[in-house]
Structure 1
Amino acid sequence: MREEISKYQKKLRLSSSLMEIYPNIEAESHEEFLLKLLKELNEDREEKRRIRNLKNAGFQVLKSLEGYDYSQIRFPNSLRVQELESLSFVDKKENLILYGSVGTGKTHLSVALGVKLINEGKKAVFYRVHDLINQLESDDQKKKSSIYKKINQADLLILDEWGYLPLHQEGARLLFDIVSICYETKSIIITTNIEFGKWKGFLFDEKLTAAIVDRLIHHSHMLIFTGKSYRMANSLIR
């Protein structure tokens, strides 16, 4: 009989965990058994989706908001810590610009927010800007289509190290294309140590720079990181 159940489980594309779940369910009626089984199958599916989304997000290291120190961050009047951690800005399709010196916790915060979003059942994707542009300039059309698909399906796009390395004109155009795709359809988090007025220095095209800034700041909150480099302060060399 277990073989028959397994056969229909595969045919109906039910969770592979079905064979481990159903023998442990205790119920006083057929309806109660079915309800408990469906609940556990759904929870199993959601957990597998969460793990898959974390794997596909592109995070180099997973980070958490637990114990995160906000004392060296200046928040705008439009956003408070509680609102940030509730991820309400994602529901509103708003952007975050995390601005400050290297090593002050910008990437940590962006990844931690992305991880929390995924743990709550949504999708986030993470790219270093230069890596993203290099991949989009590849001749591999399948890979490029996959990147656009991931971004289109995500609720949050994290663009790390914005402006750390200069882009040529085609790279700037591709970056503009990505920002335009996300405009008012999903949230973007940018980490940067470059102020707006100097973005032309790595984008080179004045018109593209103006168009990108215009789309990013329309629905944005800027968090300014004022602390010193955490990595320098905790360096083993010191």
Structure 2
Amino acid sequence: MENIKDKLTTCKLAGIQKSYELILEEARQNNMSYEDFFERLLDEELLSRDNNRFNRLMKKANFPNIKTLEQFNYARAPFVKKTDIASYAALEFIEQRKNIIFIGVQGTGKTHLSIGLGVEACKKGKSVLFTSAASLGNRLSEAQNENVMSKFLDRIKKVDLLIIDELGYVELPAATTNLMFQIFSERYEKGSIIVTTNLEFGEWTKVFHDQRMTTAIIDRLIHNCKIFSFDGPSYRLNDHVNLKSNSLKI
């Protein structure tokens, strides 16, 4: 048995190695054929590799927390149709290099749904990078200062799905927005972007400062894009008010 385990280690068949004894006992009890036994081992190895790949992709995605689409409470967000989100959870928009914009007030579920779609992408073996707009701006500035901008842009360009969260929550320096324009240009019709923002398009000049650059960014984003409007009340604020109200009653 140890000799078999050593060979499985040499061949890097960790999934089979982990489950070999259990599957062997199952095969003996059920008089499994050699072919069925071998197939069960292969199934276990493939499952192990899928799980490992998913864990690697989730780690690289850099999600601030894990939110799934199943956890989203659509009853508290009637302005978003579950069927619409479900259609995008199939991830055809990534294959078609489409963009998604979640636009509306803070606390209405934009970040939750963007992370949920990102998790679905990781499940399907897609590479994802999640970043706030402010964090992306800082990383771009650092990359420029360290003369590794080309390398950083290559990484951004290669991910299947880029999620930029909270665009408009923090005003960015003009130099930083010029660098961010490169991100939108590099991914135009080459890779999908999800953007969450609390600003209407007419207010995006507050972020990018220059009207012409703002127009160019919006043009690239909304071409081949689905825009979801989150125009309801903040459920995070409602939770806070309800919690405070209940505490006062105690």
Of 19, 36, 61, 1:21 maps to 19
Of 228, 231, 235, 1:226 maps to 231
Which entry has the higher C-alpha Rg, 1 or 2? 2
Give the CA deviation at 1:33: 2.9
- Is 1:73 equivalent to 2:79 in the alignment? yes
The answer to which structure has the higher helix fraction is 2
Q: Give the TM-score normalised by structure 1.
A: 0.86
Write the distance in 1 (CA, Å) between the matches of 2:35 and 2:90.
37
Partner of 1:167: 172
| Cα offsets for 1:6-55 (capped at 9, x unmatched) | 4433433332x432222222274443333222221111010111112112
Write the distance in 2 (CA, Å) between the matches of 1:21 and 1:153.
35
User: Which segment drifts farther, 214-223 or 90-99?
Assistant: 90-99
Give the CA deviation at 1:141: 5.5
Of 86, 93, 104, 1:89 maps to 93
Of 124, 134, 144, 2:128 maps to 124
* Residue type at the aligned position of 2:55: I
Give the CA deviation at 1:80: 2.9
Partner of 1:11: 10
- Is 1:110 equivalent to 2:104 in the alignment? no
Partner of 1:39: 43
Answer whether contact 1:74 1:226 (CA < 8 A) is retained: no
Residue aligned with 1:191, SS: strand
Write the distance in 1 (CA, Å) between the matches of 2:116 and 2:220.
24
Answer whether contact 2:9 2:17 (CA < 8 A) is retained: no
What is the root-mean-square deviation in Å for CA atoms of aligned residues? 2.5
Residue aligned with 1:63, SS: coil
Q: Structure 1: give runs of 5+ residues left out of the alignment.
A: none
- Is 1:62 equivalent to 2:66 in the alignment? yes
- Sequence identity, in percent? 36
Write the distance in 2 (CA, Å) between the matches of 1:85 and 1:132.
25
Q: 1:170 to 1:14 in 2, by over 3 A?
A: farther
Write the distance in 1 (CA, Å) between the matches of 2:158 and 2:209.
30
* Residue type at the aligned position of 1:123: S
Partner of 2:248: none
Q: 1:8 to 1:180 in 2, by over 3 A?
A: farther
| Cα offsets for 1:179-225 (capped at 9, x unmatched) | 12222122111101111112112211222212211110111111111
Partner of 2:196: 191
Q: Give the TM-score normalised by structure 2.
A: 0.82
Write the distance in 2 (CA, Å) between the matches of 1:8 and 1:149.
38
